[in-house]
Amino acid sequence: MSRASTPVIDPVELTRDLIRIPSVTPADEGAMDVLERHLTALGFTCRRLAFEGPGGEGVHARIENLYARRGTASPNLCFAGHTDVVPTGPSDQWSSRPFNAEVKDGVLYGRGAVDMKGGIAAWVAAVSQVIADGEPAGSLSFLITGDEEGPALHGTKRVVEALAAEGEVIDACVVGEPSSSQQLGDMIKVGRRGSLNTWITVHGKQGHVAYPERAANPAPVIAKLMARLNDHVLDEGYENFPPSNLEITTIDIGNPATNIIPAQATARLNIRFNPSHTGDALIDWLNREAGAMQAKTGFQITLEHLCSGEAFLTEPGAFVEAVQDAVEAVAGRRPEASTTGGTSDARFIRALCPVLELGLVGQTMHQIDERVPTAELETLTAVYRRVIETVFERMQKA
């Protein structure tokens, strides 16, 4: 592809085009088509990977994913992101309709502006600039999913599994999540805590409160068990990570009557854990605690677990330093390497290569009036371009 024929992408206009597509998880509504059209014009070979199966709340879902690559040389620098967005909430509370992509006083409003259609558009624009100036010193690739905001069962997780099975080599990956805290480029995410959800049920026997000897009340049992779990100190922290925390998110009896001993009691908890633990080890601990309480009280206690991601850390090194140097050169600040926040698809990509997150300021993501200054999209594009150039330069020397 000649330089003259290389289209240079406007990050603001591409962000607006993507925002106008109401791609609320798991719907795609043509978002992948827009990206594939632009990437094909830039010389990328695009592959659509669609997976389907049970989604959230038992709904059957078909998820569109895209893997695109330009070049065959090493290293292969990948950008990962998602085109799906969370629901808008009451649209009449927005300053402008959430999918209209209006710009007011230099600020772009719309669902996905920050999380993370703006980040995707900025990287596409940066890539178009790099290609227009000459052939990159390696391969560039995109891993884009439509299943990040939902259960994340048929998106990046399955694409990573498919690429690994094919022997596809990705040397490093930048995830375009809105990692910045207060100012663009003040923070990158180099790791994430793991997340484990557990549902606990204590089975009793319903009866009249006046005749407790004829019933078996599960409420005191679940109260004791949850208090024991809540009081347990999981750890004192891990390098670059805060202490792991267990949070009880609900305790339910489901008994509106005042004269009935309930038949069962349920609870749900979440553990955000650092690399001191694995999901399996925490599951074993919870099962042992429940088993001990069952043996002590005689009540049957059942548990269900879902570990949505393990803790991980991309260690300091050439990749992280190259990204920090690039950000500092453009934005004028050196980003803090952080592990704070919730989970992201980086937890799946870590199985392939070193990965970190770098993107817009995340203060309005998922909110009414999600928005981003258009100037920030332009700056992020410049940051991403410098990241591409710096990472390739450092990797070629390694």
**DSSP secondary structure string for all residues of 212-239:** GGGSB--HHHHHHHHHHHHH----S-BT
Q: Smallest Cα–Cα separation from 108: which of 121, 116, 96?
A: 96
- Indicate which residue of 64, 115, 148, 171 is catalytic: 148
Count of alpha carbons within 13 angstroms of residue 180, beta-carbon side: 25
Q: In sequence order, what are the residues at sequence separation of 6 or more whose Cβ sits closer than 8 angstroms to the Cβ of residue 167?
A: none
The residue type found at 71 is G
DSSP-assigned letter for residue 243: P
DSSP-assigned letter for residue 349: H
Catalytic residue at 102?
no
The residue type found at 242 is P
Contact between residue 75 and residue 353 where contact means Cβ atoms under 8 Å apart = no
- Indicate which residue of 64, 84, 149, 171 is catalytic: 84
- Kindly give the interhelix angle for 374-397 and 318-331, rounded to the nearest 10 degrees: 140
Catalytic residue at 321?
no
Catalytic residues: 84, 148
